[in-house]
Amino acid sequence: MNKSLLFSLFIFQTLFLSAQEQTFTRQDTLRGSITAEREWWDLTFYHLDIKVDPDTESISGKNTIHYTVVKEHDVLQVDLQPPLKIEKVLQDGKELKIKSDGNAHFITLAKAQTKGNQNAIEVYYAGKPREAVRAPWDGGISWKKDENGNNFVASSCQGLGASVWWPNKDHMYDEVDSMLVSVNVPKNLINVSNGRLRNVEEHDNDTKTFHWFVSNPINNYGVNINIGDYVHFGEKYEGEKGTLDMDYYVLRDNLEKAKKQFKDAPKMMKAFEHWFGPYPFYEDSFKLVEVPYLGMEHQSSVTYGNKYVNGYLGNDLSDSGWGLKFDFIIIHEAGHEWFANNITYKDAADMWIHEGFTAYSENLFLDYYYGKKASAEYVIGTRRHIQNDKPVIGSYNVNNEGSSDMYYKGANMLHTLRQLIEDDEKWRSILRGLNKTFYHQTVTTKQIEDYISTASKIDLTEFFEQYLRTTQIPTLEYTFEKGKLKYRYTNIIEKFDMPVRIFVDDKADWIQPNSKWQTKELKGNNISIDSNFYVNTKPL
């Protein structure tokens, strides 16, 4: 499989991110907006208690949803996608009326919902969930077998939504405060989910139930089940907040390979705590879990399927050589613990907050271990994948992600921003400050923009507008004759005037182009534009 095809798979183009004109349906609005039936109640706790039967490829059980009443209302929206069906909903033992509209199910509550009250409903459901045909891009459950014929099952649901396999409030703005995940599986298998394993119950019917408790807020798509013939090993990491348990669950036959390959995990933790601040979920531990697909950023239960090789399935996405210095899935998906799981977008349109910063984390990992030159060569090398087909930010309130350019256009935008700030320690303090200020929060793009502008003391209004909301890449046109540099930007929005570093006979200098021609007297014979800035150049 060639590299360009591998990358096209990676950036979700096949299903979620189309370059074509999109139209939106009522279902998109019900899924993507904070409806009247969502806004009046605040999630506090889930207990997802299910049986997973790999032989029949089915799930059955219930989710008990605890919530606080924010304002009085009597209809509550729960999301669950066919072919799964809600069998009944109870509150205080009384069965409630359900009205379904596609994936959204509206529960009419019998008792008064008084502001400040803490209530719960039990949502019973069953069926055969949608199978993930090509996980993780299309979402659902992967029903596979390992090489020894054992069942090997895993969930993945970013974009499509967690309601593809369990009933929940399927909108990112409201994260549940904590959660218990109880999963009943055949006794020869192990289920690994988020958080810490509280206990394992053995039953007379040749099954076991694994109870995993998540003590931190968690987004819906970050919840997962992973079922297989796993073996466990682990280590203690002495980090910024104390001792962190790092646990690894892999298929039995892959134990020795994993012990070697997963050495990247503590290296990742050291680099990212340096750049981003403390790992956000010490209380819930950190896990890498082998799955039958490429991988995903499930909170404290990061999934791994990169075949125990460096790069992206053995390939360097940057073509710089540096991409083979680390296991792409370990570094990228674990980077999401800070940007996606700690700082989470409120609306899918702002998914670049997850993917832009995390794609950028790849070159920060390289920076930590190999230096600035290596990291710059890597991130600049990834520009070849940028298509500029549509803006990085999508449409709001309809569960719409922007362009797949959110990955490496986002990363190169941030790399450019680092150049503008110049002081690397100041840049590091901004990245750490983001994770501290928005700790365990859902955010908007504007909040991120405003924070960085304030912390950097640079008005970045036009900078973010240019790179996030248009497909235009600034083009720097210039001539240099007899010591006189003449220059301007084209392909820019109004008032865009980002400074750029130049080199005159290898001596650094700065210019601040805008849409008007400017001139500058320079002493030297040769001029070049610093390639660390994501601009096109056009010598005339």
The token duo for 378 is 């890597």
Contacts of residue 333, defined as CB under 8 A and 6 or more positions apart, other chains included, come to: 295, 296, 297, 302, 303, 304
Amino acid at site 405: D
Q: What is the pLDDT of residue 194?
A: 98
Q: Nearest to residue 398, comparing CAs of 19, 25, 14?
A: 25
Alpha helices in 314-397 (DSSP H): 328-335, 352-370, 372-381
Q: What is the pLDDT of residue 374?
A: 98
Mean pLDDT, rounded, for 157-164: 96
Share of the chain above pLDDT 70, in %: 96
Contacts of residue 354, defined as CB under 8 A and 6 or more positions apart, other chains included, come to: 297, 336, 339, 340, 344, 345
Check pLDDT > 90 for residue 18: no
Q: State how far the Cα of 318 lies from the Cα of 378, in Å rounded to an integer.
A: 5
Share of the chain above pLDDT 90, in %: 95
Q: What is the pLDDT of residues 271-321, one digit of tens each?
A: 999 999 999 999 999 999 999 999 999 999 999 999 999 999 999 999 999
Q: What is the pLDDT of residue 21?
A: 57
Using DSSP's 3-state secondary structure scheme, residue 299 falls into: coil
Amino acid at site 427: W
Q: State how far the Cα of 409 lies from the Cα of 142, in Å rounded to an integer.
A: 31
Alpha helices in 371-478 (DSSP H): 372-381, 408-421, 424-437, 445-456, 461-469
Q: State how far the alpha carbon of 62 is from the alpha carbons of 80, 378, 428, in Å.
A: 12, 46, 44
Q: What is the pLDDT of residues 95-126, one digit of tens each?
A: 999 999 999 999 999 999 999 999 999 999 99
Q: Which residue has the higher pLDDT, 171 or 134?
A: 171
Average pLDDT of the chain, as a whole number: 95
* R_g over Cα of the chain: 25
Mean pLDDT, rounded, for 128-134: 95
Using DSSP's 3-state secondary structure scheme, residue 447 falls into: helix
Question: 84-88, 93-97, 115-119, 134-138: lowest mean pLDDT where?
Answer: 134-138
Residue 24's DSSP bridge partners are: none
Q: What is the pLDDT of residues 50-70, one digit of tens each?
A: 999 999 999 999 999 999 999
Phi, psi of 91 (to 5 degrees): -135, 125
Q: What is the pLDDT of residue 20?
A: 44
Q: Helices 445-456 & 461-469, crossing angle to 10 degrees?
A: 140
Amino acid at site 418: R
Q: In a 10 Å sphere around its CB, with 0-12 CB exposed, 13-18 middle and 19+ buried, how is residue 521 labelled?
A: exposed
- Cα end-to-end span (Å), the chain: 40
Task: Find the length of the chain.
Answer: 540
Contacts of residue 445, defined as CB under 8 A and 6 or more positions apart, other chains included, come to: 350, 352, 353, 393, 464, 468
Q: State how far the Cα of 356 lies from the Cα of 468, in Å rounded to an integer.
A: 10
Q: State how far the Cα of 122 lies from the Cα of 104, in Å rounded to an integer.
A: 16
Q: What is the pLDDT of residue 1?
A: 41
Q: State how far the Cα of 354 lies from the Cα of 37, in Å rounded to an integer.
A: 27
Q: Nearest to residue 217, comparing CAs of 303, 283, 164, 159?
A: 283
- Give Dmax over CA atoms of the chain in angstroms: 89
Band (359; pLDDT cuts 50, 70, 90): very high
Q: State how far the Cα of 121 lies from the Cα of 91, in Å rounded to an integer.
A: 5
Q: Nearest to residue 522, comparing CAs of 500, 505, 497, 540?
A: 505
Q: What is the pLDDT of residue 22?
A: 75
Q: State how far the alpha carbon of 149 is from the alpha carbons of 152, 186, 527, in Å.
A: 9, 14, 63
Ramachandran area for residue 307 (φ above 0: left; ψ -120 to 50: alpha; else beta): left
Check pLDDT > 70 for residue 536: yes
Q: What is the DSSP letter of 484?
A: E
Tell the residue number behind the tokens 């928005």, with chain if given: 438
Q: State how far the alpha carbon of 442 is from the alpha carbons of 32, 142, 296, 435, in Å.
A: 15, 28, 19, 11
217: preceding bond cis by omega (within 30 degrees)? no
Using DSSP's 3-state secondary structure scheme, residue 487 falls into: strand
Using DSSP's 3-state secondary structure scheme, residue 399 falls into: coil
pTM: predicted TM-score of the whole model, two decimal places: 0.95
Q: What is the pLDDT of residues 183-238, one digit of tens each?
A: 999 999 999 999 999 999 999 999 999 999 999 999 999 999 999 999 999 999 99
Using DSSP's 3-state secondary structure scheme, residue 369 falls into: helix
Q: Nearest to residue 154, comparing CAs of 101, 108, 111, 193?
A: 193
Half-sphere exposure of 513 (CA within 13 A, CB side): 24
Band (6; pLDDT cuts 50, 70, 90): very low
Parallel, antiparallel, or unpaired for β 302-304 and 286-290? parallel
